[in-house]
């Protein structure tokens, strides 16, 4: 005997309602996954339990991308029908944006390792792959910045070495100039000291004239002496005669 059609109405028993929700939710998520794989469709499913707990499924865990696509499509459709947005459409847009923000915040918490109980195995694997890709990009950027920093430090070190060599060269030239100046001053001081310590040379011309005059005086004196003696001899001879 075939199964009768189940009447669609609210289940009054809390336990039966919870069991039915759990079974139907699993079946619904399974069907969403199947249509996504079999038909290559982008599927986004959002289910809130009576207690407010979220259950979701999205193709390749791209819930935000699918919601963006949905919002763009809805916006274009609404723009075709009317150019003036009514308060109802604004309220609906607010609800959509709020839901999108909640999804983004939930994805962010999932990336932080929080609220992972509602994720399936495939969703966890996709999340792990996304985090691995993010880590690779972060490490690549970090290594790039470190290499750039090392290159900049090497460039500055080379510039400082060149500047240091130039300063050392100037210092050596200055020291050499000071040494030469000091050597010249010492030589001049030694020459001045030698000139003050030695006797002054005599004037050869005056010295020679002095001796010439002295010799002439002596010769004249001898001549006068001999002349006087001859006069005395001559005078004595005359008196005797």
State the Cα–Cα distance between residues 160 and 168, nearest whole angstrom. 12
Percentage of the chain surpassing pLDDT 90? 21
HSE toward the beta carbon, residue 150, CA cutoff 13 A: 6
Instruction: Give the pLDDT score at 173.
Output: 92
pLDDT band at 202 (very low <50, low <70, confident <90, very high): very low
Range among 32-46, 63-77, 95-109 with highest mean pLDDT value? 32-46
Average pLDDT over the chain, rounded to an integer: 78
Q: Taking the model in full, what pTM does it have?
A: 0.35
* Statement: residue 149 has pLDDT above 90: yes
Closest CA to 219 of 211, 209, 231, 207: 211
């Amino acid at each position: 005997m075939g199964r009768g059609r189940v009447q669609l109405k609210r289940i009054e028993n809390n336990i039966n309602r919870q069991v039915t929700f759990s079974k139907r939710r699993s079946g619904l998520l399974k069907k969403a996954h199947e249509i996504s794989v079999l038909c290559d469709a982008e599927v986004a499913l959002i289910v809130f339990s009576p207690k407010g707990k979220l259950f979701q499924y999205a193709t390749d865990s791209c819930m935000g991308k699918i919601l963006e696509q949905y919002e763009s499509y809805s916006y274009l459709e609404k723009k075709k029908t009317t150019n003036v947005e009514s308060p109802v459409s604004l309220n609906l847009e607010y609800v959509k944006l709020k839901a999108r923000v909640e999804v983004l915040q939930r994805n962010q918490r999932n990336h932080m390792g929080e609220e992972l109980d509602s994720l399936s195995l495939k969703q966890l694997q996709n999340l792990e792959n996304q985090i691995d890709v993010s880590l690779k990009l972060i490490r690549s950027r970090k290594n790039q910045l470190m290499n750039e920093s090392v290159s900049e430090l090497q460039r500055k070190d080379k510039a400082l070495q060149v500047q240091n060599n130039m300063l050392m060269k100037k210092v050596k030239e200055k020291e050499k100039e000071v040494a030469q100046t000091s050597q010249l001053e010492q030589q001049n001081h030694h020459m001045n000291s030698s000139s003050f310590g030695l006797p002054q040379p005599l004037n050869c011309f005056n010295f020679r004239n002095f001796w010439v005059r002295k010799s002439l005086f002596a010769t004249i004196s001898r001549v006068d002496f001999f002349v006087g003696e001859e006069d005395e001899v001559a005078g004595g001879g005359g008196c005797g005669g």
